[in-house]
Amino acid sequence: MFDLLLKNAVLRDGRKVDVAIAGGRFAKIAPVIDESALEVFDCQGMALLPPFYNCHTHTPMTLFRGYADDLELFPWLNEHIWPAEARLNEEDVYHGTRLAILEMIKSGTVFCNDSYFWLNGTIRAVQEMGIRACIGLFWINVGNRQQCEWRQAENAEIFKAWKAGAYSDRIQISRDPHAIYSVPEAELRKLAELSESENLTMHMHLAETEQEFNDCRRDHNGMTPFEYADACGLINDRARLAHCVWMTDSDRKLAAEKGAVLISNPTSNMKLCSGMFHFKEAEKAGCRIALGTDGCASNNAHSFFSEMKIAALVGKIQSGDPTACPATRVFEYATQAAKYFVPEAGEIAEGKLADAMLINPDQPYFVGDYNLVSNLVYAGESSCVDSLLCDGKFLMKHRVVEGEEEIIAKARQTCNKYR
């Protein structure tokens, strides 16, 4: 007996099929499946597609959505965000993360690559709400000695618990230095060594702003941020690098040769005027590319529908080529990024992990309905996601997420602390 049977689903290629799920995987896909299941769900009229994988987030920052808008990056960080974050506690992070996950579920996302602190709060929210996540052991050498010691102790505690199997198998751990300007060289080299010896991915901000680019060349013998990071051992196939706006052609060649994943955050970069990711040049160099929303203090949303559209438009306007970043490729950035974190997901195929979204195409913004993927990228909104599955379980069914009213109320209550 199957755990779940999806009836009358339409795949991306137009085939109408039944899809059986067992043990968290797609067990059988066929025109008709008559075998029994614990639950049968009628998908009549809906498209069954891979969901979104958000590759750069700071989920608790939903608490700071709209908190300090329309500022330059470093004043925004130094004068507003970091002082506010210093007041956070584990419960705040828990409620902010639940709100972020609710928003992601409502817009078709089943995974986030998250970098923050008070990690027990984030992990608790992820485990309860059923998504996948890569949780970063965040390191930033900013603040007093007591704060740094606390961050080190928290990272050690989380790593030990993860190694002991204390968390869901939906949770991964990574090494997360904040950036080359906020972590000393010796510590960057040490984190690179740990990432290699522990076989963990390494997630960091890199080449985000022109100031970072210029400061790096001034302070490190003319090296670009990518060249400096490479000299510290940080550029390799485990590297998951956020922003990557200020890159030279040789940087892109280096990233491609080393297999690093470049994670573009187009909305955040445009809002903070950091610059535009060079999609066409990165593709030409053979780079691996993914998308992320960044935190809600600088985006201000977690919806991949807006992120996909803006990515496509950035790729075109930056390169001056209207054929750059076509909808099919951008949709792949958003869904096939699964292979960089969860290689057995990201595809509706027998044996793959059962992550999927059900799209209701009966929306005014989907008419004309000539090309579903183009509509998703250029016209789609979160409201078209009818239901969402992760690991073979419904996270949302017919737009309803269990407990969503309480999640919103608790997050709103938490935000009152920062007014």
Tell me how far apart the alpha carbons of residues 385 and 388 are, in angstroms, rounded to a whole number: 7
Question: How many domains does the chain contain in total?
Answer: 2
Q: Can you give the CATH number for the domain in which 207 is found? A: 3.20.20.140
- The per-residue pLDDT for 104 is 98
- Tens of pLDDT, residues 77-128: 889 888 898 899 999 999 999 999 999 999 999 999 999 999 999 999 999 9
Same domain, 257 and 358: no
> How much of the chain exceeds pLDDT 90, in percent?
92
Tell me how far apart the alpha carbons of residues 388 and 49 are, in angstroms, rounded to a whole number: 10
Residue 175 reports pLDDT greater than 80: yes
Q: Residue 90's domain spans which residues?
A: 52-340
Residue 347 within any structural domain of the chain: no
Same domain, 119 and 170: yes
The per-type count for the chain, helices as H runs and strands as E runs, is: 15, 16
- The per-residue pLDDT for 373 is 97
In which band, very low, low, confident or very high, does the pLDDT at 148 lie, cut at 50, 70 and 90?
confident
Residue 163 within any structural domain of the chain: yes
Q: Which domain-ending residue is among 311, 340, 369?
A: 340
Residue 415 within any structural domain of the chain: no
- The per-residue pLDDT for 372 is 96
Cβ-proximal residues to 401 (8 Å cutoff; 6+ apart), any chain? 102, 105, 106, 395, 407
Higher pLDDT, 149 or 251: 251
Q: Can you give the CATH number for the domain in which 367 is found? A: 2.30.40.10
In which band, very low, low, confident or very high, does the pLDDT at 158 lie, cut at 50, 70 and 90?
very high
- The per-residue pLDDT for 72 is 83
**HEC letters along 298-345:** CCCCCCHHHHHHHHHHHHHHHHCCCCCCCHHHHHHHHHHHHHHCCCCC
Q: 395: closest CA among 133, 132, 173?
A: 132
Same domain, 30 and 150: no
Residue 145 reports pLDDT greater than 80: no
Neighbours of 398 (CB within 10 A): 10
Tell me how far apart the alpha carbons of residues 348 and 394 are, in angstroms, rounded to a whole number: 16
Same domain, 229 and 160: yes
Q: 298: closest CA among 270, 338, 262?
A: 270
Same domain, 157 and 273: yes
- Tens of pLDDT, residues 202-256: 999 999 999 999 999 999 999 999 999 999 999 999 999 999 999 999 999 999 9
pTM above 0.75? yes
Same domain, 29 and 138: no
Neighbours of 342 (CB within 10 A): 20
Same domain, 276 and 371: no
Same domain, 223 and 95: yes
Angle between helices 90-106 and 404-415 (to 10 degrees): 130
358-385 in b/e form (b: 16+ CB < 10 A) is bbbbeeeebeeeeebbbbbbbebebebb
151-179 average pLDDT score: 97
Cis preceding-peptide flag for 368 (omega within 30 of 0): yes
Same domain, 303 and 228: yes
Query: Average pLDDT, whole number, for the chain?
Result: 96
Q: Which tokens in the block code for residue 168? A: 């869901």
Same domain, 319 and 399: no
- The per-residue pLDDT for 327 is 98
- The per-residue pLDDT for 419 is 81
Same domain, 384 and 293: no
Same domain, 143 and 291: yes
